[in-house]
Structure 1
Amino acid sequence: MKTFFIDEENVGLKVLESYKLFCDQRVLVFTKNLAAKKLCKRYLFHCIDDYTTGSNQADFYIVACLSRLLSQMSDKQIASHTFILASNDCSLISAFKQQCNLFKGHFVIEKTKPIAKTKPVDVKASEIVLDDLAYKIISYLDTPRYFDTKFQQSLGCTQSEFTRAVTNLINQKKIERSPLAKRKWQKVLVN
């Protein structure tokens, strides 16, 4: 027998749609989402939504339901049962494992998000953006000036893009702080 505990608030509706119910399975879906509730009704899943609304409340309820289920089963039933958690929440996964280990239950964790991998960056595209942004910044600094939010907004870039461009210009020794006013920036004059 298998019992699935699906943290729909964490894994989403698409993952929920991928599960199918077989006669030796019980699927418990923890959600307050109306679309998920309709899907549960259509797929004959048990929709559990009577927990308090708030941060981690579904997680606490999942662990409570698992504990109650484990405490009501005999050792023989637990040995022939698999408890499956579908979630990406590390704290919930840890509590779920601890509870299963406490009762010597077999468990499986199904993480639905792939492990974060660094995406290859198109270097040429990012260089073009930074070069254009860098050119605008250097053009602005004909005379020593302050970097204020109005200037950054006029460039149409995010704060992080602006900071990255300024840092690159500093590292390339194209801009520097003004020796007369430390809060102002200026172009580096080439001799």
Structure 2
Amino acid sequence: MKSKINNLLKLSAIFCVIIFLVLKYLKGSETLLDNWELITQAAGYSAILTLVYEKWIWRINPLIKIPKFKKEYGGLIKYEYNGIQGTKNIDIKISQTLTNVYVSIKSDEITSKSITSELVEENNKYVLYYTYITQPKSEFSDENPIQYGTCKVLVDDVKEFHGIYWTTSKTKGDIYFVENKKDSQAIFYRSTSFPK
């Protein structure tokens, strides 16, 4: 993430210089005070342009190779807790900017939201690491209390990918993401053939 922020700062500086030169050409400047006013205007416009780029425009930049997640996924959790195994269908929402990925997962019992995340390249593949906190519905809070967890997701293809997770209550399991929610029901039948 540090390299993404450094690249964003460099881009912001380039925007600032270009905007300053355009303003200088259009408005002209004769004194140091005039130049200072143009520099502050250029810095303000550059900050706005950089924020817009970081939030949306980076997605259309062909030079950026990081995975560009869809907004919504269907999914399945295969879990193990106290020797008991089970599965649960989930709805997944992902909000992504150039520097951050936010993951929200909802099941019939809980909602979980990411606290921190990092999308890194490992062995020429992208891996999303994130930590999260769960918020159970009140009727399930005794048997499934609030907990923290970590997830490691291997992103081979943004349409369908998988990962593993573990929590503070010693629950662990696999998590599967699929772009088309209708296909998420089929994951249950195919999940045994997914690579671990």
Determine which structure has the larger helix proportion and give its number: 1
Determine which structure has the larger strand proportion and give its number: 2
Q: Which structure has the larger Rg?
A: 1
The TM-score, its normalising length taken from structure 2, stands at 0.22
The TM-score, its normalising length taken from structure 1, stands at 0.23
